[in-house]
Amino acid sequence: MIIGVGIDIVKLSHFRQKINKGGVAFVKKVFSCKEQELVLRIAKTRRVNYYAKRYAAKEAFVKAIGTGFGPIGLQDVWVENLASGQPVIMLSETARKYLKKKYKSLPNIHLSLSDDEDAVAIVVLEQN
């Protein structure tokens, strides 16, 4: 049963400005150490896209759980990729505890990312 859906769109040109203005401080505030480490494997010309998609995923996730950022912070949610390339939402222990309390168990989290002139993420939460 679907218990939540969230979607977010990030304009790449706007996000590029945010990164340029905020620099390293902005990146460290918004993205996990793992995301910052993984971006180094991406061509420099694609790094804004990488970060924008992950930011959109964080936003889509908190929309899907219906809280916005508050009980779960930006650093509590991050995106990694399986060996197949499929993106997956990863959660800190704080986020996991919050979801277990809210839903009685961790829901399955489905994520899809895309980018062109914008970055888009959709998250679907499913409970068995």
Res 128 pLDDT > 90: no
pLDDT tens per residue across span 90-116: 999 999 999 999 999 999 999 999 999
Phi first, then psi: give them for residue 68, nearest 5 degrees. 65, -175
Query: What percent of the chain lies above the pLDDT cut of 70?
Result: 100
Torsion angle defined by CA atoms of residues 92, 32, 63 and 103, in that order, rounded to the nearest 10 degrees = -10
Count of domains observed in the chain: 1
Condensed to tens digits (0 to 9), the pLDDT of residues 37-52 reads 989 999 999 999 999 9
Sequence-distant (≥ 6) Cβ neighbours of residue 63 within 8 angstroms: 4, 5, 6, 7, 8, 123
Yes or no: say if 8 and 121 are a contact pair by the CB < 8 Å rule.
Answer: yes
What CATH number should be reported for the domain holding residue 24?
Answer: 3.90.470.20
**Domain ranges, residue 75:** 2-126
pLDDT band at 68 (very low <50, low <70, confident <90, very high): confident
